[in-house]
Structure 1
């Protein structure tokens, strides 16, 4: 009888406990895949106006990414490239590539409520932060881990602290909060419209909400996404920025 009871108890004590970093890694891989290609609409909303911007994006791993503006016409062909730790911007109106200095990473990306760092350096979420589980919370019908990210001393990042809510079941990031270096909450990100995209369950709708700017937000809407289609490394080069379609 004692042996039988021990055999029942053994699986309970053998269950591994996921680390905060492993939870973030799984959430990151779920939304990114080995590679991804997507069409995304950014809707910039202000108290008296709004406008849409359509983009194409490509990523490979967590070090290579490209974003190309498709619309509106005045911005069409503008490209951002993230390669390792470098960020480049192709501006078709002056036919120049510009390497973004660290001082520009906290600036607004294309007039949105995302910073340059948010859009093109989000891939450093695993490398540039220390991760700690600080609790859990239910969002809708999903129970989420709350993970706190503190930048490493050597990391060149914008935020002084980030908190993200990751669904325990499907590793979906459902909420995020972004704090400045003094610990003041600056932006809140929320997601909605969870459905199948590219064969994966993902939030198709995201809002970035500045805390102290009523009536202002940026909405990100996934129109389509494809995962794990091979993309050669040479696609993500400064020379290729003006050629991609």
Structure 2
């Protein structure tokens, strides 16, 4: 084979490879990914942090959300949250008076909003914004252990406390955030900080768990500060005014029952 023929052969092979590469890469992207196997020890750690944030039993809590822009307080809203286990939640709007009677109902990862002026409930996304920096899922669902696959990403120090840094990857697209970076106190598993990311990888907001005191028989964070990572100075502060363990029957968490609350 002449040198000219050999060079032409190499050129055509390279060209074919270049044309096929995007196709092969695209096919690889679409191939089903094997499920991530989580370390049971790390899963248990997330479960302990979940149980510190909220009781494992059915409970009721009132939450005031105050929104700030560049340090100036804006609107405020008060919600009552009724939660049964990790999968059934009702979020009732108490204030402002103009929105009283509005309710969110979550069953599993299905979420509906009920409004007095609308006859039929409307399906919502957990990721949709409720108020300020607070998404629907931030109030309606707080089951990190069930919604994400955790892995240890390293260690850090938060306010002088040694912390484990966990990488939480969403189990599917139905959860509130695609990815969460989660700081947990190494000594007692208390949640300290979280970063919430979109599917694109963009950081959406940063949360800090503060003001730990006893609620519902356990020391828990009673203040959650959420800062917008895209708009500097936009902050929402959630204050848990009270929290009580109480029996909440399954029949409460139905659309028929919510209609009676309006």
Q: Secondary structure at the match of 1:19?
A: helix
Shift of 1:95: 4.2
Q: Distance in 1 between matches of 2:217 and 2:49?
A: 15
Considering only CA atoms, is the larger Rg found in Structure 1 or Structure 2?
Answer: 2
1:196 aligns with 2:214: yes
Q: Distance in 1 between matches of 2:203 and 2:173?
A: 20
1:24 aligns with 2:55: no
Alignment gaps of 5+ in structure 2: 1-38
Change (3 A) 1:155 1:183: closer
Q: Distance in 2 between matches of 1:97 and 1:39?
A: 23
Give TM-score, length-normalised by structure 1.
0.82
Q: Distance in 2 between matches of 1:160 and 1:63?
A: 19
* Corresponding residue for residue 227 of structure 2: 209
Q: Distance in 1 between matches of 2:261 and 2:54?
A: 20
Aligned residue pairs total: 222
* Corresponding residue for residue 129 of structure 2: 108
* Corresponding residue for residue 66 of structure 1: 90
Alpha-carbon RMSD across the aligned residues, in angstroms, is 2.1
Q: Distance in 2 between matches of 1:43 and 1:108?
A: 14
Change (3 A) 1:212 1:155: closer
Alignment of 1:54-93 (within 5 A): 54-93=78-117
Shift of 1:185: 1.6
Shift of 1:157: 2.8
Q: Secondary structure at the match of 2:259?
A: coil
Change (3 A) 1:139 1:226: same
Change (3 A) 1:133 1:193: same
Q: Distance in 1 between matches of 2:126 and 2:82?
A: 20
Q: Distance in 2 between matches of 1:215 and 1:63?
A: 33
Change (3 A) 1:143 1:179: same
Q: Secondary structure at the match of 1:126?
A: helix
Give TM-score, length-normalised by structure 2.
0.77
Is the deviation greater in 169-178 or in 111-120? 111-120
* Corresponding residue for residue 140 of structure 2: 120
* Corresponding residue for residue 183 of structure 1: 201
* Corresponding residue for residue 248 of structure 2: 231
Please tell me whether the aligned partners of residues 109 and 175 of structure 2 are also in contact (alpha carbons under 8 angstroms). no
Alignment gaps of 5+ in structure 1: 1-16
Q: Distance in 2 between matches of 1:192 and 1:85?
A: 27
Shift of 1:46: 2.4
Change (3 A) 1:142 1:199: farther
Q: Which structure shows the higher helix fraction?
A: 2
Shift of 1:30: 2.6
Q: Distance in 2 between matches of 1:49 and 1:239?
A: 37
* Corresponding residue for residue 14 of structure 1: none
Q: Distance in 1 between matches of 2:251 and 2:139?
A: 21
Please tell me whether the aligned partners of residues 79 and 242 of structure 1 are also in contact (alpha carbons under 8 angstroms). no
Shift of 1:166: 1.5
